[in-house]
Chain A
Amino acid sequence: MSMRQMELEVLRYDPEQDEAPRFQNYSVPCVDDWAILDALNYVKENIDTTLAYRWSCHMMVCGSCGMMVNGEPSLTCKTFIRDLPDHVRIEPLENFPIERDLVVVLDDVMEKLRMAKPFIIRKDPPPEDQEFTQSRAALYKFKQYTMCVNCMCCYAACPQYALDSSFIGPAVLALAHRYNLDSRDQGKAERLNLLADHDGVWECSFVGACSEVCPKSVDPAAAVQQMKIDGAKEWWKQKLGGGKS
């Protein structure tokens, strides 16, 4: 396996000591099939134990290790050395307050997740002692939106969230849409009331950056567009006295 010396330029910030974020360089002997996360782990184990960042699964599913790699929001366990130049700049995800080094404050999106009511809402009871019947076609309607690992890379890419953090944002809207599309759910109207208001889907300027950076190929931009249509339909339905669906 070939080795390559990489220069990592890593943002450091300890609110107890630093007045402002600064950069620190580490020279790391990297194996070609490493991911950026492996290089950070090398630093942590061998060069500087004080570097703070989040990670766990190292297999693209826990969503912990989202960071900016050369300016791109990336899941660092699936951003490979082989695809990068010798000098790499690593920063915390943009659009979030920095908690420490590469760790960002996620309170805002965690609270928004709750607001989206991301759970099955039923008016009728579910079938007793057996599962709902759901065709594959019905499953595939919402399945891609279940793939989100909440890495929040899409928030780091979103120009609207950058401008105004009251915008609910891509991952949470996609999640709400996932439940709206689920044939087992009856809560769409409840969610639309919330999501169609001024902080919701209408704020999206449809740049599509969220879908471009998503490491799991979820397409939040499409979800947002579909929700705009749903929201408009719902508005008309209520206006025309058709009641809530």
Chain B
Amino acid sequence: MEKITADVVIVGAGGAGLRAAIAIAESDPQLEVALISKVYPMRSHTCAAEGGAAGVKGADDSLENHFNDTVSGGDWLCDQEVVEYFVNQAPRELVQLEHWGCPWSREDDGSVAVRPFGGMKKKRTWYAADKSGFHILHTLFQTSLQFPTIKRFDEYFALELLHKNGKCRGVVAMEMRSGRFFSFQAPVVIMATGGGGQSFPFTTNGAIKTGDGMAMAYRAGVPLKDMEFVQYHPTGLPGTGILLTEGCRGEGGILVNKDGRRYLQDYGMGPETPIGEPVLKTMELGPRDRLSQAFWHEQKKGNTVETPWGDCVLLDMRHLGEKKINERLPLVRELASSYVGHDPVTDLVPVRPVIHFMMGGIDSNINGETPMPGLYAIGETACSGLHGANRLGSNSLTDLLVSGKRSADRAASYAKEAGKAVDDPAIDAQAEGVVTWVRELLQQQGGDESIAKIRREMKSALEDGAGIYRDEEGTLKACQQIAELRERYEKIEVHDKSNVFNTDLQQALELRNLLDVAETVAEASLQRRESRGAHQRLDYTERDDENYLKHSLAFRQPDGRPRIDWLDVTITRSQPGVRDYSGGKSE
């Protein structure tokens, strides 16, 4: 097996990984960065983010406002020192991106434009039409090309962390093109592999979002935090699950049920606001968890619309007019027209909630540090405590930048102190062990289980047991089903035996990661016996600060289901209160 040494290994070359790589290259050109990704960087799922990135901009806004919106949006499960740092750094990072060439949309005076977004009290979402993530990703990727110390390993699939005496020592990866294995040895690994939305059947997440980094850390003994908090985005296209950005509503789009009623007013987000004049933090600009939950109730009441792809509500953007839709929401128009045959300029567009984002992830802190020295986690892969129980739209793109930069600075100092990786037979043996396991999986014959079947069953187990609303019986069943699927996984057969770009093998490895992620989602959902943010229990309908103002930590057990521990939330200046989305009417 070939050995590659570096000062810092970054796994994942999306927004977070690229931002971190650039920060390290800028800070010290002596440091060698190995940037590993299972896809070419511009394929990373950051590209699919549409709406924008939050950072205080206007004179009428303040860091305090952004802090309060984020903490209440997260139902007080946010670690407040992390939020404070985040809102402080956000504007600086977004300006930095502008200096690097991001084609942000502009106001009349040539300054960067901001739009309203759900749960935000002021307009502070920087956007590039409705392709913000795409432009952020390409800007970062293109900017990274000027740094010779960033060495890319495109289409290398990371398999397992290397570690010794509790410290991170690198990662083993497979080159897709050749099937060859590489041992990347470094004192620092930064995980930036995104979330694991593919563990659910209906998701905005691309095929590549299989929770690889989360699962690698979890198997290495690092806990996954707050995994029960999975965000449904309220407006996905039925059938495909393609995202229609919150910007649709930010620009003035409204949601109606089969009777044409703006039903959000019936779920604590009213009174109704004038059509075409969106009011911040109420009605259609309420937070995602509340909107998705309202859909669930409408469906139960029989107020949804039947479509060939299942029950939906309707997104009405017709009053925005063709000019505005073309200027601000061109991708939305293209997607809705192509995939469901409804042009938002002339038609109501059917939508329904869709799995979008994991608030949980690898247990990390404000610096991206995890409990394993040398292992860092950033972006969606991480759970730094920023998003709490529900992420506000447009906070995550900014988080890629803020957490990427901060952890890179910390990781660079750590790497310099730790020094270069030295030859270590124990680490080599560990790497060989991983390779042996993968080779055995590849050669295994006569297995009667199919990857696709186990994957399908895992997805429906999670949707049935850990969907928008949950209860004891359903979550327990999901835990048991996933445990059974793990056993059945042992009997899968990879039919493709080739060394060259073996996607059958890759899917088998990804499924293993997804099962790891899924078991933590189900277990943490079972054990959090309260309702908070995106985690809603039909049998424990209230928030319970006395017992559950805590993060959950899922630890892998060699046999059987994960063990859940609890960790206090850091509260600095905002005591838990009521989330008010009545547009100030109830104040």
Which residues does A use to contact B, with CB under 8 Å?
Answer: 1, 14-17, 33, 44-46, 49-64, 78, 80, 99-101, 103, 105-106, 110, 113-114, 117-120, 126, 129-136, 138-139, 142-143, 146-147, 149-150, 175, 179, 182, 184-185
Contact = CB atoms under 8 A, between A and B. Distances in A.
B103 A146 contact: yes
Given A133-B109, A135-B106, A149-B47, 8 more contacts: A45-B452, A50-B498, A57-B207, A63-B47, A117-B145, A119-B100, A129-B95, A136-B108
Contacts of A58: 206-207, 240, 242
B318 to A, nearest CB: 22
Interface string B480-502: 00000000000000111011111
Contacts of A131: 95, 98-99, 104, 111-112
Given A56-B208, A139-B103, A182-B101, A78 B338 contact: yes
Interface in B218-233: none
Contacts of B499: 16
Nearest to B138: A146
B48 interface: yes
A119 B146 contact: yes
Contacts of A99: 177, 500-501
Interface of B: 39-40, 42-45, 47-48, 92, 95, 98-101, 103-106, 108-112, 131, 134-135, 138, 142-143, 145-146, 154, 177, 206-208, 239-240, 242-243, 308, 331, 334-335, 338-341, 450-452, 494-496, 498-504, 507
A120 B504 contact: no
12 contacts: A1-B308, A33-B239, A49-B452, A52-B501, A54-B39, A56-B43, A62-B42, A63-B43, A100-B498, A119-B100, A136-B108, A150-B40
Contacts of B207: 55-58
Residue among A15, A16, A52, A182 facing the most chain B CB atoms (10 A cut-off)? A52
B501 A133 contact: no
A1 B340 CA distance: 11
A100 B111 contact: no
A57 B208 CA distance: 8
Contact of A16 (B111, B338, B500, B507): B500
Given A56-B208, A182-B101, A63 B501 contact: no
Contact of A57 (B48, B101, B507): B48
Contacts, number: 156
Given A46-B452, A49-B504, A120-B99, A60 B334 contact: yes
Contacts of A179: 101
A61 B48 contact: yes
Contact of A50 (B111, B242, B340, B495): B495
B105 to A, nearest CB: 8
Contacts of B145: 113-114, 117-119
Nearest to A15: B500
A132 B109 CA distance: 11
A149 B48 CA distance: 11
B48 A59 contact: yes
B109 A61 contact: no
Contact of A120 (B92, B100, B110, B452): B100
A177 B371 CA distance: 46
B14 to A, nearest CB: 11
A184 B99 contact: yes
B123 to A, nearest CB: 16
Contact of B206 (A45, A62, A118): A62
A19 to B, nearest CB: 14
A91 to B, nearest CB: 16
Given A33-B239, A33-B339, A132 B500 contact: no
Contacts of B48: 57, 59, 61-62
A182 to B, nearest CB: 6
Nearest to B334: A60
Contacts of A134: 106, 110
Contacts of A136: 106, 108, 110
Nearest to B103: A146
B328 to A, nearest CB: 12
- 3 closest Cβ contacts across the A-B interface? A133-B110, A56-B206, A100-B501
B171 to A, nearest CB: 21
A77 to B, nearest CB: 9
A53 B503 contact: yes
B110 A62 contact: no
A54 B154 CA distance: 13
Nearest to A142: B103
A44 B506 CA distance: 13
A43 to B, nearest CB: 11
B535 to A, nearest CB: 27
Contacts of B106: 134-136, 139
